[in-house]
């Protein structure tokens, strides 16, 4: 029987030499694989009160939209700087080479709302940590974080757990 991991392809040396890119587009393209991933990402939250799902750019939008639909709750995107119209709040974070900034609308979450954060991949945890900080600045209560893939060698899970986050992943890949 196939697992979610079986639907994910690895592309060697992308986007540059030495990187093993874990490509979830093959998972998304397969109806059974995609359904399996969404169902498994939903499973830990059965019966739990969640008010909104927050998806991290960009593949987190695909997952977050599907999960929000299944939970019958709203969806909120967290995007790269300059992509959202209207008033936003922003959070800078460190990348392997340099810095990036994530933003969300300043009225997208109300204080006390219970939030599920989703994305496809957890690597160093920088993007997710920036998103969590944005949500917390608006008063959102993060119920959990959910990812398809964890790259344990890069330490993202530990970063999020050290922030007090619950972390759920469907599969792990060794190597970066």
Q: Give the pLDDT confidence of 122-168 residue by residue, as tens digits.
A: 999 999 999 999 999 999 999 999 999 999 999 999 999 999 999 99
29: in domain: no
26: in domain: no
Backbone angles phi, psi at 69, to 5 degrees: -60, -50
Number of structural domains (the chain) is: 1
152: in domain: yes
88: in domain: yes
Per-residue pLDDT for 96 more than 80? no
Q: From CA 96, how far away is CA 156, in angstroms rounded?
A: 13
pLDDT bin (cut points 50, 70, 90) of residue 34 is very high
69: in domain: yes
**pLDDT score for 54:** 98
Per-residue pLDDT for 117 more than 80? yes
67: in domain: yes
Catalytic residue among 22, 59, 79, 157: 59
- Half-sphere exposure of 155 toward its Cβ, with a 13 Å CA cutoff? 4
Provide the domain limits for residue 73.
Answer: 47-172
Q: From CA 157, how far away is CA 122, in angstroms rounded?
A: 7
**Average pLDDT for residues 3-31, to the nearest whole number?**
96
pLDDT in tens, 70-87: 999 999 999 999 999 999
8: in domain: no
40: in domain: no
pLDDT bin (cut points 50, 70, 90) of residue 98 is confident
Q: Is 161 among the residues known to form the active site?
A: no
Question: Would you mind telling me the total number of residues written for the chain in this entry?
Answer: 176
Catalytic residue among 17, 96, 99, 174: 96
pLDDT in tens, 41-51: 999 999 999 99
Q: Is 59 among the residues known to form the active site?
A: yes
Q: Identify the CATH number of the domain in which residue 82 sits.
A: 3.40.50.2020
């Amino acid at each position: 029987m196939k697992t979610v991991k079986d639907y994910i392809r690895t592309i060697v040396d992308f986007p540059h030499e030495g990187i093993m890119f874990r490509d979830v587009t093959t998972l998304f393209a397969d109806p059974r694989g995609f359904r399996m991933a969404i169902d498994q990402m939903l499973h830990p939250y059965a019966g739990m009160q969640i008010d909104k799902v927050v998806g991290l750019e960009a593949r987190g939008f695909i997952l977050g939209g599907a999960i929000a639909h299944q939970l019958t709750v709203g969806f909120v995107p967290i995007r790269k700087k300059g992509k959202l119209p209207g008033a936003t709040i922003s959070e800078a974070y460190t990348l392997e080479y340099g810095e990036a900034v994530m933003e969300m609308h300043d009225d997208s979450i109300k204080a006390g709302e219970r939030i599920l954060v989703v994305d496809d991949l957890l690597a160093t945890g920088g993007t997710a940590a920036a998103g969590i900080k944005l949500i917390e600045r608006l008063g959102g209560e993060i119920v959990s974080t959910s990812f398809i893939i964890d790259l344990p060698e890069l330490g993202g899970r530990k970063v999020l757990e050290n922030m007090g986050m619950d972390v759920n992943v469907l599969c792990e890949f060794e190597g970066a």
